[in-house]
Structure 1
Amino acid sequence: MQWTVHRPFVPPGVLDRLRLRRAAARYAEHGWAVTPGARLSGHRFACGRPGCPIMACHPALESWEDTASVDPGQVQAWWRHEPYSVLLVTGRRFDVLDVPAALGLRVLGSTRLSRRREACGPVAVTAAGRWMFLVGPGVPLRSELDHRLDIVRHRRGSWIPAAPSRMPEGTVRWAVPPEQTQWRLPDAEMVQAMLTDALGTARGPRLTIPRQLSTARRGG
């Protein structure tokens, strides 16, 4: 008798949902509040709310800031049927310094060269070229950074998309996974100082982008 092993077919949509749910549960397990984000449908994001005009990535729940959770049961319920994006709520356990890729690469490179372990923290990257440094919460941007349109601090009232959420340009990924730093968060002032130093070594014209419409909500 000949034995064959056939893996059951699992639709790609189900695999995406399971992958997103698993990631959301892992973040919540470490105390990082999550909320479901609108799922990518074609070239726009659909949250399921009737008449929602927002086409970019955004929370799927209108009361997302109040309902964001680290509760395992709630996380499982949110991702039970829909492949929602995974959004990390900022301003609680951490703030996020959102910078252009060229600047992010310089800072990450200098961190590794200096072997300054205390400056190492999780870093998420979008395919659109944004690098997001997770840091301790509550520290305002330095004046050298605050006036730049291409640097955003996500604080209370804001969120960021987390891996493995899909954006129109590609999937969000970790350049430095939180497991690699044992979920430690670096001092915000130290990372801001490194960003300022990296700006001083940058060549060519300054890269700027218009602030997103949600920047006011995101804490700018």
Structure 2
Amino acid sequence: MGWSERSPLVRARLRNRALRYADHGWEVTPGACLSRGRFVCGRPGCPTIGCHPALERWEQAATRDPRQVAAWWQRHPHAVLLATGRAFDVLDVPTHLGLWVLGAARLHARIAGSDRGRVRGPVAVTPTGRWMFLVRPGDPLRPELADSLDVVRHGRGSWVPAPPTVLPEGPVRWVVAPEETRWQLPASYAVQDMVVDARTTSPRHLMTARAPRPLPRLHRA
């Protein structure tokens, strides 16, 4: 399956980061392993070649138990997947909206002060240009966003790939690491308000020639 091609150091890095997420109450599940440009989960007959959970009943298996997390990454370099709708939801937006919202959030934090900058939280970006804002769980999308094709809410029953997972196009990375916000999450509607504003006021020229291609839809709640 090609799993042995991956360095033990890569596997250890994935495991250590998965353990750190679990230590902060974020439920983790192992993803398929990237091998020769496709993801292999080891399940007989699985047709999925994109990033996906390695376990068929991943939602029930997702955990923050450090012993189980360490065991999953003991032998194979699984992608690190975070179960959403539990400790947090994720608002998944394209590059031009992500840049605008992050800039607005940083401006708000400078004006309100770091202790009251409640619209700031962890933000990850995929190599294909999807920005993932981690927010407090439970709130549905506002009506202005509910029918949008470029804004996705990952809630209960969904997952997202987390750094340092590597996709065929490159690594998933933190733009705002959870350590920068002390693992605190903003209110979902506060960030959604910024997304609504961004959809009406952000200039499309923020999508530069170097901006990556949109990511095919992740599992949607």
| 1:76-115 superposed matches below 5 A | 76-115=70-109
TM-score (norm 1): 0.88
Aligned to 2:40: 46
Please state if 1:70 is matched with 2:64: yes
Q: Distance in 2 between matches of 1:114 and 1:178?
A: 18
Partners of 2:123 and 2:177 within 8 A in 1:
yes
When normalised by structure 2's length, the TM-score is 0.88
- Which residue pairs with 1:150 in the alignment? 150
**Share of identical aligned residues, percent?**
58
Please name the residue that 2:167 is paired with: 167
Q: 2 CA distance for matches of 1:70 and 1:12?
A: 25
Aligned residue number for residue 119 of structure 1? 119
CA distance change for structure 1 residues 210 and 176 in 2, over 3 Å: closer, same or farther? closer
Q: 1:210 to 1:128 in 2, by over 3 A?
A: closer
- Contact 2:128–2:215 (CA<8 Å) still a contact in 1? no
Partner of 2:202: 202
Provide the aligned C-alpha RMSD in A: 1.9
Is residue 128 from structure 1 mapped to residue 122 from structure 2 by the alignment? no
Task: Output the CA distance in 1 between the equivalents of 2:216 and 2:130.
Answer: 13
Residues 152-206 of structure 1 show CA distances to partners (whole Å, capped at 9, x for unaligned) of 100000000000000011000000000000000100010000110111113459x
Runs of 4+ that moved beyond 6 A: none
Higher-Rg member (1/2): 1
Q: Which residue of 1 aligns with 2:52?
A: 58
Deviation at 1:129, TM superposition (A): 0.2
Q: 1:98-128 deviations in whole A, cap 9, x for unaligned?
A: 0001100100001111225111000011010
Map of 1:181 onto structure 2: 181
1:29 to 19, 23, 38: 23
Structure 2 CA distance, aligned partners of 1:81 and 1:200?
Answer: 48
Q: Which runs of 5+ in 1 are unaligned?
A: 1-10
